[in-house]
A and B are shown apart, each in its own frame.
Chain A
Amino acid sequence: MKLKFGIKEVVAIGIGTALFVALTQIQIPTPIPNTYLQPRMAVMAFLAAVFGPVVGGIVGLLGHALGDALFYGSVWWSWVFPDGVVGLIIGLFAAKYAIREGGFGSTKSIVFFNVIQVVSNAVAWIVVAPLLDIIIYAEPVSKVFAQGAFAFVGNIIIIGILGTLLCVGYSSIGAKSSSLTKED
């Protein structure tokens, strides 16, 4: 895997972060009280899948920190890092999804993307977030794991539905090199 960091990545981080921050204002309430689906997570997963781990990770970190600071005036650091973790892990396999090349859309690639996103969310919300909550904020153990579990479920739902749709949609429109099929 090559770590390319050019002009496009710089701009993608900038505009991706702006998107993430702007989408902080849409939260879809779920039937579970006090838990919201965050479409911004799906957008971040999409950007990570297209541009790779550096862009995904930084958009998650910077976007969450900046979005929280601008909208809510305080930054809950132990939940900023898990966002970065999700973006980073999803982005690690960017070359495999081949979204910009138009190769995303088969059942196999969709399943692969979703397995990765579930794993990354599990690491982020069931391990990293509660641990940081306990280490940094000394919050009660049962509370942070319950919150982590809600965030985990919420995020895999929104990334699973909206994130996958975005990847498929963009891949079929932006199809370039692999859109050609060999004729017999």
Chain B
Amino acid sequence: MAKILSYEEKDTWIHRLSGVTKLVFFLLWCLTSMLTYDTRVLAVMVAFSLVIFKISKTRWKQVGAVFKMIMLFLVLNVTAIFLFSPDQGTHIYGTRTVLFHIAGPYDVTKEQLFYELNVIIKYFTVIPAVFMFLVTTNPSEFAASMNKVGISYNVGYAFSIALRYIPDVQGEFTKIKHAQEARGIEMSGKASFISRIKNTSSIIFPLIFSSMDRIDTVSNAMELRGYGKHKKRTWYMERKLQRNDYLVIAFTVVFMVIALAVTYSNGSRFYNPFV
């Protein structure tokens, strides 16, 4: 089974922050990184991300497998951009400095390399933030604190049910898969395209039906315990926003404003070293 990122309990000040604070940071951080193509801003963000990663005491073992996967996608994406549009850099920066010629329409230009460098840096600004968020946020506490800042507890509950049941559903998936393989159903690459769709459905059908049963069971259990009767709920894992939470949120907002101001100061999202 593929290895996925999961929460691990540690005692750092990042772990002690409220889940909402980390979500706000994570979303604004991603948004800033999406909007800006300014290489200077991106470089600062990469540096920050690495510091955060270090402070959160995340070990390589927790994230290494996933990181390798991202690198694979990164390479695929960068190659695809070049194949489909070798002149995107010229299109953006307005100049064309050919370094060397490959074949047909494919020239390697400085502008293209610079543009793709920015795409790569963008990945590296977000990856540590995602790791930090997933590895340091306790799901139960997260649901509770979402409710504390005014989000409907239905949302918090749906979210924590999702996180709670991912391992269960995965376990069931593996069980069904093994059972079907024992009956001689081929799941590997040896089977043909059509029979792979068929074989996949022989796993998905039982999985869906048992999940639909699970939805009935869980919602009946919740109804019996009076879920949704009142407008408010109390939470075991509740944690109030503290000084550090406000500081982090304030910092994130200020950082975002400055980053965007710097980015758009020259009239476009791109930092252009070529003119």
A contacts, CB < 8 Å to B? 5-8, 10-19, 21-23, 25-26, 28-31, 34, 37, 39, 42-43, 46, 58, 62-63, 66, 69-75, 77, 136-143, 146-147, 158, 161-162, 165-166, 169-170, 173-174
Contact = CB atoms under 8 A, between A and B. Distances in A.
Given A7-B228, A28-B197, A71-B66, A62 B162 contact: yes
Nearest to B5: A70
Contact of B193 (A8, A16, A30, A46): A30
A51 to B, nearest CB: 9
B149 interface: no
A36 to B, nearest CB: 11
B32 to A, nearest CB: 12
Interface stretch (B94-102, B127-135, B241-249, B252-260): B127-135
Contacts of B161: 10-11, 13-15, 18
A70 B197 contact: no
Q: For chain B, which range describes its interface: under 10, 10 to 19, 20 to 34, or 35 or more residues?
A: 35 or more
A140 B78 CA distance: 11
A72 B73 contact: yes
A162 B34 contact: no
Contact of A14 (B4, B88, B130, B165): B165
B275 interface: no
Contacts of A30: 193
B208 A170 contact: yes
Interface string B155-169: 001111111111011
Interface string B193-218: 10011001101110111011011101
Contacts of B88: 139-140
B182 interface: no
B84 A18 contact: no
B249 to A, nearest CB: 21
Listed residue (A17, A34, A43) with the most chain B CB atoms within 10 angstroms of its CB: A17
Given A18-B162, A71-B4, A37 B197 contact: yes
Listed residue (B67, B127, B165) with the most chain A CB atoms within 10 angstroms of its CB: B165
Interface in B132-159: 133-134, 154, 157-159
Given A14-B161, A143-B80, A169-B205, A7 B222 contact: yes
26 contacts: A5-B154, A8-B215, A8-B216, A10-B222, A11-B215, A14-B157, A14-B161, A15-B161, A15-B218, A16-B211, A21-B162, A22-B170, A25-B1, A25-B2, A29-B189, A39-B201, A46-B208, A72-B66, A72-B69, A73-B5, A73-B130, A74-B73, A143-B83, A165-B205, A170-B209, A174-B212
